[in-house]
Amino acid sequence: MNNVLTIKNFGPIKNERSTKINICKITAFCGGQGTGKSSAAKLISEFFWLEKALNRGDFPISELTMYDRFRKKYCSFYGIQNYFKEDTYIQFYGDKYLFEYKDKHLFVRELGINIKNKYERPQIMYIPAERNFISSVENADKIRKLSGTLSTMMDDYFQALKQSKGTISLPVDGYSVAYDKLNKLTWLAGNDFKIRLQEAASGFQSLIPMMIVSNYLLNQIIENKGENILNLKSVEERERITKNIQKILKDKELDDSIRLELIKQYQTELYNHHFINIVEEPEQNLFPKSQRNVLNELLRINNSIKGNLFIFTTHSPYIINYLTLAVKAGMLYHGLLGVSGAKEKIEKIVPEQSAVLSKDVVIYQFTEDGEIKLLPKYESLPSDDNFLNNSLFESNQLFEQLLEIEDEYKIC
């Protein structure tokens, strides 16, 4: 079962029809400015993190559900603490917990988990639209009182740079990044030039933190699974892990087989199994071709681990169209499997690692009157009749009206 979010009367979102947001492997939010796309994305990120924190034992449910603790403490991290109204309703079905906010209170209930459907701990990252601040300001890591999402992303970004070796290729032809650890400088290199990242175009300043953090966190998951789990934890968490394992070992009512199974189950909850990547406007300040390359790379990252999720907001019709290409490519890779020469031809348009299945993609449109609508599919592909394409059509209509005025007044 997919995770499900329901929002009513929260910020600009009214959602009178109580549309449920089913979170799939790829979930996209599109719509006009200030319609609530980022609000929904932030709530998803928050609930995934709260579920992880509760499972990890950071705090008990009773503390989380104290009056106004959820809004004032945890929602303020995402800057959405003032979006609540008298009749705000929010419900989130997680993997292990059900969260429900109503009547100004948060209620949390643990869901039944069986051995076939056990909780697997995720790595969660929210990549905000203001990420280019990290690249454009020198010594950005020294600045205090930044938003919670930007500060968290910045910590992982600089950690990734410190651990990088050599140059880092970008999903834009001929460009790469290198980090000078001695002088703490980030350099952008092209085919015949090299400049400091602060001097680069805004598209690179937006692109580079997003791609470096996304790849870094993915690789951390892949690499850490083979390392000593205890070495990856904080002192407090190491103490909790040791205490819980000792408790299992000392329980005389358990036989050896059950004791071993319990320890195995417990160990699966100690490291991050998959990556939930939540990105605001991946297309930010990028040329259409670069948008396609960046989307393909983010899809590749998402396809790298079975349980990964990619959730993003967008204002770009190109991004939705390129996502449609990835879906069509996925259909062709599957339908033409084994056909000589077919794979090579498809690969020139969409890399196989970036192709996706129609069932794994869902797009929601946020309207100016506060509603949330599921974008329908036509023959398994996202419909062309979406807000972003309609905006392009509207501009063409306006141009035709100008041509009619020109004809009417016979302007040469």
Q: Answer yes or no: is 137 within a domain.
A: yes
Q: Is 392 exposed, middle or buried (0-12, 13-18, 19+ CB in 10 A)?
A: exposed
pLDDT at 199 over 90: yes
Same domain, 109 and 12: yes
Instruction: Give per-residue pLDDT as tens, 285-334.
Output: 999 999 999 999 999 999 999 999 999 999 999 999 999 999 999 999 99
Vertex 172: Cα angle to 169 and 174 (nearest 5): 65
Q: Answer yes or no: is 369 within a domain.
A: yes
pLDDT at 1 over 70: no
pLDDT at site 255: 75
Same domain, 105 and 148: no
Same domain, 280 and 313: yes
Same domain, 134 and 198: yes
pLDDT at 168 over 70: yes
Instruction: Give per-residue pLDDT as tens, 204-221.
Output: 999 999 999 999 999 999
pLDDT at site 411: 63
pLDDT at site 358: 94
Residue ranges making up the domain that contains 177: 129-220
pLDDT at site 145: 74
Same domain, 108 and 149: no
Q: Answer yes or no: is 280 within a domain.
A: yes
Look at residues 280, 386, 379 and name the one whose alpha carbon lies nearest to residue 331.
379
Instruction: Give per-residue pLDDT as tens, 33-56.
Output: 999 999 999 999 999 999 999 988
| Alpha-carbon span 312 to 28, nearest angstrom | 5
pLDDT at 122 over 50: yes
| β-strand pairing of 26-31 with 361-366 | parallel
pLDDT at 140 over 70: no
pLDDT at site 76: 95
pLDDT at site 361: 96
Same domain, 95 and 190: no
E strands in 45-104: 84-93, 97-102
pLDDT at site 398: 84
pLDDT at 65 over 70: yes
| Alpha-carbon span 125 to 159, nearest angstrom | 14
Q: Answer yes or no: is 365 within a domain.
A: yes
Same domain, 108 and 135: no
pLDDT at 344 over 80: yes
Query: Domain tally for the chain?
Result: 2
Tokens 């709530």 correspond to 43
- The 3-state DSSP composition of the chain as helix, strand, coil percent (nearest 5) reads 45, 20, 35
Integer CA distances (angstroms), 80 to 19, 126, 261, in order: 21, 14, 41
Asked if 393 and 34 touch (Cβ cutoff 8 Å), the reply is: no
Average model confidence (pLDDT) for the chain?
A: 88
Same domain, 67 and 88: yes
pLDDT at site 230: 47
Secondary structure of residue 277 in the 3-state scheme: strand
pLDDT at site 267: 59
User: How far, in whole angstroms, is CA 24 from its chain's centroid?
Assistant: 11
Q: Answer yes or no: is 97 within a domain.
A: yes
Instruction: Give per-residue pLDDT as tens, 177-196.
Output: 999 999 889 999 988 889 99
CA dihedral 26, 336, 346, 326 (to 10 degrees): -10
Asked if 266 and 245 touch (Cβ cutoff 8 Å), the reply is: yes
| Residue 269 pLDDT class (50, 70, 90 cuts) | low
Asked if 286 and 206 touch (Cβ cutoff 8 Å), the reply is: yes
pLDDT at 139 over 50: yes
Secondary structure of residue 172 in the 3-state scheme: coil
Reading the block at residue 243, the tokens are 């205490």
Same domain, 157 and 56: no
| Alpha-carbon span 143 to 149, nearest angstrom | 14
Q: pTM of the full predicted structure?
A: 0.87
DSSP string, 212-271: HHHHHHHHHHHHHTTS-GGGGS-HHHHHHHHHHHHHHHH-TTS-HHHHHHHHHHHHHTSS
Can you tell me the mean pLDDT for 96-116? 87
Asked if 274 and 308 touch (Cβ cutoff 8 Å), the reply is: yes
Find the CATH number of the domain harbouring 114. 3.40.50
Instruction: Give per-residue pLDDT as tens, 376-397.
Output: 888 888 877 776 677 767 777 8
